């Protein structure tokens, strides 16, 4: 009966346009996961260097997924996209315990950001197909996950998975289940999240416009100063 009620509730939900971000360290498997969700081929998948955006249907919702590079030099751009996203998929390489301290720090900084705190996050402990990969309990302990998500009031779910196992209908079941949870919790709280995102995006646009205006003013002043210097130099030669 419970499953029946859940199915009926999902059918009655309106379709939504949802923007999400898939984040994590470099080589965690973000792009493979994104391509798998999209149903695209996993052959010759190249790591994302900067920013990539893909669109696909999930259940009855239109998903826009921001795939952002995880290298140290590129992570600083992540914050430029936080205002637009309803939730986050954070991919962890379970086969590299030596990088989990770095992974923990990045996740902590991510979830405590003002534009992310309070939004739902799906943590995918990827590469379970690799011998020696850490399980869910170990990942949660290494990342101090419970404390971090509670501190920032982020609804969270953890799934252990292997992104390379398939795409589309053959997508690894934990990824599909986890993504279904993420979409479900967003749509259940859509009005509240949507109002927040509209406000944040408007503030972002206003700040961008102000920054552009200030840059233009600086350029104008620099031109005036160069012109004045040139005028002084010219008059001195007369």
Annotated binding site: 24-31, 48, 70, 126-129
Crossing angle of helices 30-38 and 173-188, rounded to 10°: 80
Where b means 16+ CB within 10 Å and e means fewer, 163-182 reads bbbbbeeebbebbbebbebb
Segment (H or E) for 197: helix 190-237
Binding residues for GTP: 24-31, 70, 126-129
Q: Could you tell me the two tokens for 81?
A: 């996209």
Binding residues for Mg(2+): 31, 48
Residue identified by tokens 């995880």 is 70
Q: What is the C-alpha to C-alpha distance for residues 129 and 42, in angstroms, rounded to an integer?
A: 16
């Amino acid at each position: 009966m419970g499953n029946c009620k859940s199915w009926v509730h999902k059918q009655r939900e309106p379709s939504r346009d949802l923007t999400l971000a898939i984040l994590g360290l470099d080589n965690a498997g973000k792009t493979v996961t994104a391509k798998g969700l999209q149903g695209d081929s996993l052959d010759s998948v190249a790591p994302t260097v900067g920013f990539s955006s893909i669109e696909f249907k999930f259940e009855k919702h239109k998903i826009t997924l921001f795939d952002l590079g995880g290298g140290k030099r590129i992570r600083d751009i992540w914050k430029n996209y936080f205002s637009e996203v309803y939730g986050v998929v954070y991919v962890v390489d379970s086969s590299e315990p030596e990088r989990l301290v770095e992974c923990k720090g990045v996740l902590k900084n991510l979830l405590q950001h003002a534009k992310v705190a309070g939004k739902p996050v799906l943590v995918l402990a990827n590469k379970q197909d690799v011998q020696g990969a850490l399980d869910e309990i170990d990942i949660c302990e290494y990342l101090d996950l419970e404390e971090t998500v509670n501190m920032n009031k982020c609804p969270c779910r953890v799934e252990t998975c292997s992104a390379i196992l398939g795409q589309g209908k053959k997508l690894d079941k934990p990824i599909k289940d986890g993504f279904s949870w993420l979409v479900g919790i967003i749509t259940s709280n859509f009005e509240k999240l949507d109002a927040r995102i509209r406000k944040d995006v408007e503030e972002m646009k206003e700040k961008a416009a102000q920054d552009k205006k200030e840059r233009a003013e600086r350029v104008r002043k620099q031109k005036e100063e160069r012109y004045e210097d040139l005028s002084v130099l010219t008059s001195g030669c007369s």
